[in-house]
Each structure stands twice: as structure tokens, then as C-alpha cells.
Amino acid sequence: METTEHYRALLRLAKEQRQSESEWNDASSKAEGKFDLVAELETLTAQHCEAEAELGAVKVIDPDWCKLHEK
């Protein structure tokens, strides 16, 4: 049996979902004009080059596992 309280809870959840979607749409529409794809690509490319340079400076020791217990 579904009661009036159950229906009210469903309506409240539906209302909250609509409000959330509306807020999301408003925020995304405001942000669309401010995002510069080319600038973001240049920034990410520069960060990638810096990371590659740092990675090149890292030296990884490759242990000889056969001689690990020898003295």
C-alpha cells in the first residue's frame, strides 16, 4: 500500500532533482563562454613537457635479484 507520505516523498525527490538539474544547467551555460580550449591545450601541453623533463631526470635502479642475498 502506498500512502500519501510516500507520494509526497516521491514528489519532493522529483522537485529536488529538477532544481539540481536547473542549477547545473545554469552553471554550465555561464561557464561555456569563459572556457578557452586553445589556451587550455597550451597549458596542458606545457605541463606535459615539464612532467616529461622531470621524468627524464629520475633514475631507476634495476637490482640484480640473483645477487641480492650475496655478500
Distance CA 31, CA 22 (A): 14
Nearest to 37 by CA among 47, 45, 27: 45
Per-residue pLDDT at 19: 92
- 62 domain residue, yes or no: no
Q: How many domains does the chain have?
A: 1
Per-residue pLDDT at 43: 92
Q: Which domain holds residue 46?
A: 4-57
The DSSP code for 67 is G
Q: Residue 2 above 80 pLDDT?
A: no
pLDDT tens digit string along 18-59?
999 998 888 877 766 666 778 889 999 999 999 988 888 877
Instruction: At 6, list the grid cell.
Output: 510516500
pTM for the whole structure? 0.40
- 18 domain residue, yes or no: yes
| Radius of gyration from C-alpha coordinates of the chain | 28
- 37 domain residue, yes or no: yes
Per-residue pLDDT at 46: 94
